[in-house]
Chains A and B, each alone.
Chain A
Amino acid sequence: AQSVTQLGSHVSVSEGALVLLRCNYSSSVPPYLFWYVQYPNQGLQLLLKYTTGATLVKGINGFEAEFKKSETSFHLTKPSAHMSDAAEYFCAVSGGSNYKLTFGKGTLLTVNP
């Protein structure tokens, strides 16, 4: 079985500040990890993914995430928040023969001017 925990249902930052969204996972097989973003009334858009290889993954819009196996974490960061980053962010895991995505509950990011 797989599960994802996103710490903090709501994160608020100032424009230009560091963004840190936390994700911890549980998986009995080597995980594939994903971050998706959802803007209001839209579907999910992939930000970045970790499959194998380099543990620091860079995605779109300046986001990156680091896979830390020892900590079972895959936190999402961005050095400088922009107003357009305000959205809901979902961490997800799949792995082995399990192609289904198991999602965390999501973190709503608010960016203050």
Chain B
Amino acid sequence: GAGVSQSPSNKVTEKGKDVELRCDPISGHTALYWYRQSLGQGLEFLIYFQGNSAPDKSGLPSDRFSAERTGGSVSTLTIQRTQQEDSAVYLCASTPSFGGTYNEQFFGPGTRLTVL
């Protein structure tokens, strides 16, 4: 079946612009995660959605970052007033169910964001 998909695959933007990154999880997966992969910081957790529960936003680095998940499926990560330090690969992952501490997280190919 189809895996996790992300769009766009690459995004180049100018400092100060807003960007939206999209994630389509595997059908039927109830949990969705966003991570950021950057040269300086490695892989960092950003936000977690589980069904209709309030998301865990504890990893978002600033209030310029927000995310939503519509209908328990597609998720959009929005970065407002982008800064050069936001340049990174943004990875999305999903798991089949809650109790996912031991569940495999299935990762998408990522969106490479470059802020000029």
Q: How many residues of A contact B (CB 8 A)?
A: 26
Total A-B pairs, Cβ < 8 A: 52
CB distance from A21 to the nearest CB of B (A): 15
Cβ B101 vs Cβ A106 within 8 A: no
CA distance A103 to B35 in the complex (A): 10
Give the size range of B's interface with the partner.
Answer: 20 to 34
CB distance from B108 to the nearest CB of A (A): 5
> Which of chain A's residues have a CB closer than 8 A to the CB of B104?
34, 46, 49
Is residue A78 within 8 Å, beta carbon to beta carbon, of the partner chain?
Answer: no
User: At the interface with chain B, which of A12-20, A36-44, A67-75?
Assistant: A36-44
What residue in chain A is nearest B102 (Cβ atoms)?
A51
Cβ A101 vs Cβ B45 within 8 A: yes
What residue in chain B is nearest A31 (Cβ atoms)?
B101
CA distance A41 to B44 in the complex (A): 18
Cβ B107 vs Cβ A43 within 8 A: yes
What string of 1s and 0s marks CB contacts (under 8 Å) between A37-59 and chain B?
00001111110010100000000
Question: Could you write out 18 A-B pairs with CB less than 8 Å apart?
Answer: A32-B102, A34-B104, A41-B109, A43-B4, A43-B108, A43-B110, A44-B91, A44-B93, A44-B105, A46-B105, A51-B102, A94-B101, A95-B101, A100-B33, A100-B45, A101-B35, A101-B105, A106-B42
